[in-house]
Amino acid sequence: MSRRAAPFDLLWELYGDDEMAEVFSAEQTVEAWVRVEGALAGAQAELGVVPSDRAGAIERVCADPATVDLDALWGSARNVGYPILGLVRQLDAALPVELRGSVHFGATTQDIMDSGLALQLDRAMSLLEQRLRGLGDALGALVTEHAATVMPARTHGQQAVPTTLGAKLGVYLDEVGRHRRRLLAARDDVRRVSLFGAGGTSAALGPQAAHVRTLVADRLGLVDAVVPWHVARDSIVHLAGIVVGASTTAARLAREVTDLSRTEIGEIGESVGHHRGASSTMPQKANPITSESIIGFAVAARTALPGLSRAAEAGHERAAGEWQAEWVLLPAVFANASSALLLAADLASSLAVYPDRMRENLDADGGLVMGEHAMISLAPVLGREHAHDVVYEMALESRRRREPFASVLGAWLADQPALPAIDVTPGDRSVGDALLVSRAAVDGWTDTLTTDPRPWKDLA
C-alpha cells in the first residue's frame, strides 16, 4: 500500500521552504532511523556485544538506500501503529541468513525514532540558522543605508516623534540576533541520542549499555545522554518556542511593511513587478503579498506550539497519544517558521523605501510630531509640567485652526521675549540617538556572527 495523499496546502505550494520540507520528508526520516540502526550495530560490535561480521553486514545494508521498501514499511506501520518493527524486519531480511538476528539489539522503537529526530533537528536548526542569518544580513544592510533617513515614529498608531528608518529596523535586527543566539544555545539540548530500552533502564542493552550509547552518539555526531527522555519533551517545547519566536519577529516585520505601505502612508513598500500582488477585479492594486504570506506562515507555526506543550504532559515511561501529536506538530513548526523567515529575508533585501514620502508625512499633522521637542526646549524656563500644558494648548489650537504648529508656536513666542526661539522643523537634529541605535544594532549583529562559541559543522 503506497503512502497516503496529503491535504493540499496552498500557502505551502506558493512559498514553502523546500529545503526544510526535505529535512522532514518521509525519505529523510527513514534514512535517519536507518542511520541509527547502523550506528547501534557498529557500536555494539566495538564492544563485542554483536559479532563484527554481523555488524558489518548490518551497516552495509543500512547504507544502501534500496534496502527499505517504503510502501511496504508504511503498510506494516499502519498495522503495528509504529514503523520500526517493519523497518527492522526489512533490514534483517536483507542480510544473509547466517548473519541475521542482531538488528536493533536491545533498543526500543522510540530509541530509534528519537535519535533519528535528533539528527533531523540538528539539520533543521542549521537551516533555520541560515534563514536567520539571511534576514539579519538583509536588515543590517537596510539599517546601515537608512541610519539617517528621517521618518515619523508611531506609538498607538499615531505619529509620536521623529526617528529614522535605520533606528526602527535596528530593533528588528537586534531581535534576529537574539533569536540566533537562543537557537545556537538550544542546539545541544535537543540533539541528544536516545538509547534506553523499553522502560528507560537500558536493561536489554546489557552491562555495557552506557558505553554503547556513548559510542552511538559519537558515530551519529549527537550529544550523549545518561538520563532517558522518552517522555521528557521539555527541550523540544523550548526549541519550538525559540523557532516560533523567530517567526513572530518575521511576522512583526511583515506587519510593519503592510502598515507603512498603506496608500495613506506610503513610506515603504514591497518590490514591484508585472502583476505582482495584482487584484482580479481592481487593476490598480499591488497587494503586499510577501508580507501577507509571512504572517500566514508565522500564525501557522505559532498555533502548533500549544499542541506541543500539551503533548509534553505525557506520563509514566512512555506517551499514550501525545507522542503522535508531536509527529505532526514539530515538523509544522519548523517548516512554517523557516518559510516565514525565508520570505522575510527576501522582503528586507528588496524593500522599496520612499524618503520623500517620509518627510512629507512628518508634516501630516501640521508638524505636531515636534511637540515633545518644543516642550523639552521650554522646560528649563517654564518647568516640565507647565511646558507640557503650554504645548498641549498649542496642539489643540493648531488642529482647530488647521494651522502649522510652527506658526502657532512662533506667534506665542513673539509674546514671550524672555524665551529663546525654537526651531520645530523636523530634521536630522531631532532624532535623538537614532544614529547610535542604528550603529549599535549593526555592530551587535556583526558581533553575534563572529563570537558564537559553538558553531556546528555545516554552519559556514
Residues 350/271, Cβ–Cβ less than 8 Å:
yes
Q: Tell me, what DSSP letter sits at residue 369?
A: G
CA nearest 297: which of 345, 348, 250, 260?
250
Would you say the C-alpha torsion 285, 288, 292, 293 has a positive or negative sign? positive
CA nearest 149: which of 434, 424, 367?
434
Q: Tell me, what DSSP letter sits at residue 431?
A: S
Cα separations in angstroms, 457 against 125, 196, 211, 400 = 12, 27, 25, 65
How far is 418 from 355, CA to CA, in rounded Å? 37
DSSP for 119-146? HHHHHHHHHHHHHHHHHHHHHHHHHHHT
How far is 192 from 220, CA to CA, in rounded Å? 10
Burial of residue 383 (number of CB atoms within 10 Å: 0-12, 13-18, 19+): exposed
CA 111 to chain centre: 28
Set of cell numbers at residue 271: 518590490
Residue 203: count other Cβ atoms within 10 Å of its Cβ: 12
Cα separations in angstroms, 385 against 382, 391, 398, 412 = 8, 10, 20, 18
Set of cell numbers at residue 318: 512512555
How far is 113 from 110, CA to CA, in rounded Å? 5
The CA-CA-CA angle for residues 418, 424, 425, to 5°, reads 145
Of the listed 89, 318, 399, 439, which one is catalytic?
318
CA 386 to chain centre: 47
Residue 173: count other Cβ atoms within 10 Å of its Cβ: 29
Residue 438 among the catalytic residues: no
Residue 318 among the catalytic residues: yes
Of the listed 52, 276, 279, 401, which one is catalytic?
279
CA nearest 355: which of 424, 405, 406, 426?
426
**Which residues touch 63 (CB under 8 Å, ≥6 apart)?**
38
Positions marked catalytic: 279, 318
